[in-house]
Amino acid sequence: MYGSANDGARAARTARTARGARTACARTRALAGSVLAGALLLAGCSSSGGGPDDGDTQPGPTVRQRPKSVTPYWVDPKSNAAQQARTYADDGKSAQAAQLKKIAAQPVAEWIDAKDPRGHTARVTEAAADAGREALLVLYNVPHRDCGQYSKGGAQDAAAYRDWLDGVAEGIGERSATVIVEPDALAHTVSGDCASPRLRQERLQLLDAAVTKLKGLPRTKVYLDAGNPDWVRDPGALVEPLKRSGIAEADGFALNVSNFQTTASNVAYGKRLSSMVGGKHFVVDTSRNGNGPLKGGGEESWCNPPGRALGEAPTTRTGDEAVDAYLWVKRPGESDGECRGGPKAGAWWPSYALELARNSET
């Protein structure tokens, strides 16, 4: 579905479709410095990894790292979910604390701060390395981010973005990391207002620059975001943008970031797209797709929809050689935006986190 700024009726229809199906990704940006947020300890959060780096060294219950054979990614023992669970436990709300542990026990992605890319990235990758694990990072700072919607913002211009990207690369250095590159950005180049020729060309160049920069690091894997099956429904429309964005050099592409489409639909879609871009592998965000998408939710069915649930736990054991991992890229419990009573995009929302956990069998 290609949008056009000069085709009034068609552009309006395309923009409405994009808003209804888009990923809600920026609506997920992590609060800067979450790695350094307040201390917490949780009881019985996950299976043990069997080593001194598996949890907090203080006495008492702890958040442990997941076994590397299941998922190599770092579990942040000081995440919003972990802190909230500790607060509930301290307040005697054991049932709520138990629900939040479902989120706190899993590795979730860190969305890199726009103001301190080097420092933020270094803190996360160092913490992951100290625990013997790999950092999972998200870049979300492209100019004209989110086409001016709930998560509008991003770097001031292309030069500022390149400088920011340099900081991210310096923060990763030689440590292990997997990076999801710019949720929404590529799909927006084929639908809605962000498909204007000038903006499209600049954006694809910046995505390519991000892939090139990150793949120049010795232990970094890179996945370009490619929307979800209900946004750009014809995967063929993404082939040319992906190629211009550096998919040949990347490790693959990412699907369903911050959205709710089922794992099965994403895998089917991903395989179709993979066959068009040289057999590239892909990852799927399963953080909130346990109950699939909201039916009949209108144009903003992506924004804090009720009745959703956590999806498959993060793992590299997907059972499908084309699917490198199921990941929690969206941080469960962070708002998609100021809709349905939610706070601003990316803000922690305990009641929504509880709903996701309660509706899940994870």
Q: 336 an active-site residue?
A: yes
Q: 320 an active-site residue?
A: no
DSSP, residue by residue, 253-286: EEE-TT----HHHHHHHHHHHHHHTTT-EEEEE-
Which residue is catalytic, options 54, 113, 146, 324? 146
**Range list of β-strands (E), the chain:** 110-111, 135-139, 177-181, 220-225, 252-255, 281-285, 323-327
Q: How far is residue 194's CA from residue 205's CA, in Å, rounded to a whole number?
A: 14
Q: 324 an active-site residue?
A: no
Q: Which two tokens stand for residue 174?
A: 């030689």
**Range list of β-strands (E), 44-194:** 110-111, 135-139, 177-181
The type of residue at 358 is R
Could you tell me which of 60, 58, 52, 56 has the C-alpha nearest to residue 79? 56
Which residue is catalytic, options 184, 230, 251, 285? 184
CB atoms inside a 10 Å sphere around CB 312: 16
Which residue is catalytic, options 193, 230, 251, 336? 336
Enumerate the active-site residues. 146, 184, 336
